[in-house]
Amino acid sequence: MEQHELRQWEHRCIQEEKPECVARCPLHVDARQFCSLMAQRRWDKAWVVLVKTMPLPGVLARLCEAPCREACVRKDAGGAIALGALERFCAHEAKPAPPPRPLPSRGKSVAVLGGNMAGLCAAWEMSRRGFDVSLQCGDPAVDLRELAAGALPQGTVERELENLSRLGCRIESGVDCSAELLESLLEDNDAVFVDADAVPDDVWGFGEPDELTLGTRRSGLFCSRAGETRIIEKAAAGRRAANSIERYTQGVSMVSGREREGAYETRLFTSLAKVEPLGPACGETCTEAEARDEARRCLQCECMECVKVCEYLRHYKSYPKIYVRQIYNNDSIVMGTRQANTMINSCMLCGLCKTVCPEDFDMAEVCLDARKSMVEKGKMPPSAHEFALRDMDFANSEKCTLARHAPGAQSSSYVFFSGLSARRIGP
């Protein structure tokens, strides 16, 4: 197997694709792991999952519109998981966690102009990545409270702004966001991000920002797109800007490899064939018991269709993408004992996996090709599968085509298959 063939086989297995809820979340919060921990009533651990992914988690966990619910596979079997309610419950019940430790300094300075949600999230993301960040804004606490419309408990905004400072961001409030200030920031920094919801158009008027990169006609100037109504999308714009500024300051492509930035379509298949419909356990708010029961409704989405029906695949306790990597290593890399020989030779080549796989992944083809290749290279003795081949030839020959009743009998109660136990076929 050549490496490009390995890549093709690995791509065909979809078990490691993200669940619908994670793929559709603009920030890719791991809702599957979050629900698993919530179902165990491990509120603190579940909160850490959110903190690892969300900028300003104390704010976003309470204000997120939960677009993941629109994509939840459970919606067709009793109703989508109330992830928004679970996040709000977790934010209330879990112990406060410090922000992620920032990376070492990059020696690059970035200014953020405007302290609405996009600007604050951009400052958060770039600070944790090791940029020297200054936030020039009016009053971010007032902006966030207005955005939240009373949905945030007292002290939440102040704690998140303090965490932003702990990440290393210098917050300079009470600033008049003028065109002169913008020019000064562009001269003094490696890049500048403008929060369009907090800064008038005439201050930064360099045209509509690019949809993918948020870059403008002015080199080094990035800007969010005004008019976005969903808070989670504003936060995602801050992260997108941080990704672009990171690429810009490194001098690499601004567009390659960004297909899955933000919400995207996943290839993961999750069968509902044996899933019983189960209605929601909570509404917009939860008690502890309701939060646990609602999280338990999560299907923990995965494919594993082939493993469900194949004892061979189940025996080795993994799935085809892992197996094909092991087979490739066994054939192309390993110089000593080839541990995967037994696995390669254990497949019966029945093709059932291909039949049930949404992507037609055929372990029989992979194993047979590996057997041929390794025998040709002297890396596997023919005896490892020679008996099975000779037995198959014999079973398919004329010498093995005998099917008749006992002498003098017109019917039979039992049928005998060579190599198998007798089976009763009559009353």
DSSP 79: -
User: Is residue 126 domain-shared with residue 225, that is, in the same domain?
Assistant: yes
Structural domain count of the chain: 3
pTM for this one? 0.83
| Residues with Cβ within 8 Å of residue 171, at least 6 apart in sequence | 115, 135, 137, 140, 161, 164, 165
How big is the CA angle at 50 (ends 143 and 262), to the nearest 5 degrees?
Answer: 75
User: Is residue 213 domain-shared with residue 324, that is, in the same domain?
Assistant: no
User: Is residue 37 domain-shared with residue 89, that is, in the same domain?
Assistant: yes
User: Is residue 52 domain-shared with residue 149, that is, in the same domain?
Assistant: no
* Backbone φ and ψ of 46, nearest 5°: -65, -40
User: Is residue 27 domain-shared with residue 72, that is, in the same domain?
Assistant: yes
User: Is residue 241 domain-shared with residue 120, that is, in the same domain?
Assistant: yes
Residue 184: give the domain boundaries. Answer: 109-250
Residue 353: inside a domain, yes or no? Answer: yes
User: Is residue 206 domain-shared with residue 228, that is, in the same domain?
Assistant: yes
User: Is residue 275 domain-shared with residue 313, that is, in the same domain?
Assistant: no
User: Is residue 89 domain-shared with residue 171, that is, in the same domain?
Assistant: no
Longest CA–CA span in the chain (Å) reads: 109
Task: Tell whether the torsion through CA atoms of 300, 302, 305 and 311 is positive or negative.
Answer: negative
Residue 62: inside a domain, yes or no? Answer: yes
Contact criterion met (CB below 8 Å) for 133 and 205 = no
Residue 66: inside a domain, yes or no? Answer: yes
Residue 6: inside a domain, yes or no? Answer: no
Q: Count CA within 13 A, CB hemisphere, residue 17.
A: 25
**Burial degree of 114 (CB within 10 A; 0-12, 13-18, 19+):** buried
User: Is residue 382 domain-shared with residue 360, that is, in the same domain?
Assistant: yes
Q: Return d(Cα 107, Cα 80) in angstroms, integer.
A: 45
Hey, is 323 helix, strand or coil?
helix
User: Is residue 64 domain-shared with residue 114, that is, in the same domain?
Assistant: no
User: Is residue 62 domain-shared with residue 126, that is, in the same domain?
Assistant: no
Residue 423: inside a domain, yes or no? Answer: no
The tens-digit pLDDT sequence of the chain (427 residues) is 889 999 999 999 999 999 999 999 999 999 999 999 999 999 999 999 999 999 999 999 999 999 999 999 999 999 999 999 999 999 999 998 888 899 999 999 999 999 999 999 999 999 999 999 999 998 888 888 888 888 899 999 999 999 999 999 999 999 888 889 999 999 999 999 999 988 877 776 777 899 999 999 999 999 998 888 899 999 999 999 999 999 999 999 999 999 999 999 999 999 999 999 999 999 889 999 999 999 999 999 999 999 999 999 999 999 999 999 999 888 877 655 667 788 888 899 999 999 999 999 999 999 999 988 888 888 776 665 566 777 888 878 877 766 778 888 888 888 776 654 444 545 5
Residue 22: inside a domain, yes or no? Answer: yes
Residue 259: inside a domain, yes or no? Answer: no
Residue 132: inside a domain, yes or no? Answer: yes
Other CB atoms within 10 Å distance of the CB of residue 348: 13
